[in-house]
Amino acid sequence: MLDIKFVRMNPEVVKENIKNKFQDDKLPLVDEVIGLDQRNRDIKQEVEALRAQKNKISKQIGGCMAQGKKDEAEELKRKVQENADRIEELSKEEKEVEKKIKEIMMVIPNIIDPSVPIGKDDSENVEIEKYGEPVVPEYEIPYHTDIMESFRGIDLESAGKVAGNGFYYLMGDVARLHSAVISYARDFMIDRGFTYCVPPFMIRSNVVTGVMSFAEMDAMMYKIEGEDLYLIGTSEHSMIGKFIDTMLTEDQLPQTLTSYSPCFRKEKGSHGIEERGVYRIHQFEKQEMIVVCKPEESKKWYDVLWKNTVDLFRSLDIPVRTLECCSGDLADLKVKSCDVEAWSPRQKKYFEVGSCSNLGDAQARRLGIRVRGEDGTKYFAHTLNNTVVAPPRMLIAFLENNLQEDGSVKIPEVLRPYMGGMTEIKRK
């Protein structure tokens, strides 16, 4: 969420940013919110003047009563009441105006970084760099669920009966591999200096609206009926929410946390045939990383975060690439974002396995996460997040890239301690 003062002083910048995000339907909101802001300031000024006048008249009433001027005192009392009525009327309008300002400001997108490429959607995202050599073996790579079934490692049919489409049972060595990847990712991030955390898996609505846009909320979040609670779609929401309404000192920054959680998502919309199986599901587990830092340090931490994911995937012998998200593919709160994509030898292309985002002070402004500087000045922190690993998609990349000709899957050396020393998974 932008600062209303910034919008007031830079309306053309805000409008140009909206155009760059191809959201022209939001252009009228800029002038509307500026008008509301002016009305809000006019109300405050009038209320202040009325209160000053009311105090002045109240003092005069005492003097008139002391002098026996009852008629004049009554007239002054009438004026005091008129002022009180007007103040009450204006105060009611002020609340309505401020509510409307907040609603609009929550919809106007954040100012994107100048380095972000301009494009309408994800088809115009820009490749930054590749890491590792993509390999397509001479032997066939089956679909990921077929590989899992060859190890008796997945049961979609039973999950469909129990919970419906978008759920699964992982079994045996595949389930163990899933847990091993999560445990390895946890220790990988701890070794990089991040503090491990297991957060609440439900959050209140004020946290939800603080960390994401309304469009994202509607497409992702499951609401707990009868309670002000939502199941988290990713632990970054709960982790950023940890700092709601806090005043941090500069020596407490940066806050670097890595968290484990299950994730729950509606996954609205139609998806292609390549997204069946465990590619796009309603429930999965994930290791996440978040940073709360000073504004001048957020660009540095952005690079640290996405490199962590690249390094983790490369340690598991999985080729990846980074992709700069264009303006039209950025969620409204994001300043800059890049995807990490893993190589699929079966599809002969890359697919998304993680997303790194710098949100500037947008989340901090919504949630009230402030910092007190050494000189006493107060400002909003910057927040960032990135996926360490989400095993459903990681499993797809892992199985395809480590599948051997005989149908077994090799276990990279770094993962073997988490797999009881196993060097490969063999077909049942």
Distance CA 3, CA 297 (A): 20
Please report, in angstroms and rounded to a whole number, the separation of the first and last CA atoms in the chain. 53
* Residue 156: strand, helix, or coil: helix
Query: Which parts of the chain have pLDDT scores under 70?
Result: 66, 268-276
Closest CA relative to residue 132, chosen from 368, 386, 412, 388: 412
Three-state secondary structure along 195-232? EEECCCCEECHHHHHHHCCHHHHHHHCEECCCCCCEEC
The answer to whether 385 touches 290, Cβ cutoff 8 Å, is yes
The token duo for 200 is: 């609440």
Q: What is the pLDDT of residue 81?
A: 86
Token digits of residue 221 = 């979040």
Q: Which amino acid is at 50?
A: L
What confidence score (pLDDT) does residue 59 get?
77
- What is the reported pTM? 0.90
Name the phi and psi angles at 141, rounded to 5. -105, 110
Q: What local confidence, expressed as pLDDT, does residue 278 receive?
A: 83
Q: What is the pLDDT of residue 68?
A: 74
Return the pLDDT at 269: 56
Query: What's the CATH number for 4-105?
Result: 1.10.287.40
Distance from C-alpha of 7 to C-alpha of 74, rounded to nearest angstrom: 47
Nearest to 69 by CA among 80, 77, 61: 61
Domain ranges of the chain: 4-105, 122-425
* Measured distance CA(392)–CA(298) in Å, rounded: 29
User: Which tokens belong to 117?
Assistant: 């490429």
- List beta partners, residue 259: 197, 288
CA distance 289 to 50: 52
Residues 109/214, Cβ–Cβ less than 8 Å: no
pLDDT tens column, 138-173: 999 999 999 999 999 999 999 999 999 889 999 999
The predicted-structure confidence for 129-144, as pLDDT tens digits, reads as follows 999 999 999 999 999 9
CA distance 186 to 197: 10
The residue whose two tokens read 């996954």 is: 267
Handedness of CA 139, 142, 144, 149 (dihedral sign): negative
CATH of segment(s) 122-425: 3.30.930.10
pLDDT attached to residue 238: 96
Instruction: Quote the pLDDT of residue 270.
Output: 47
* Mean pLDDT estimate for the chain: 93
Cβ atoms 59, 16 nearer than 8 A? no
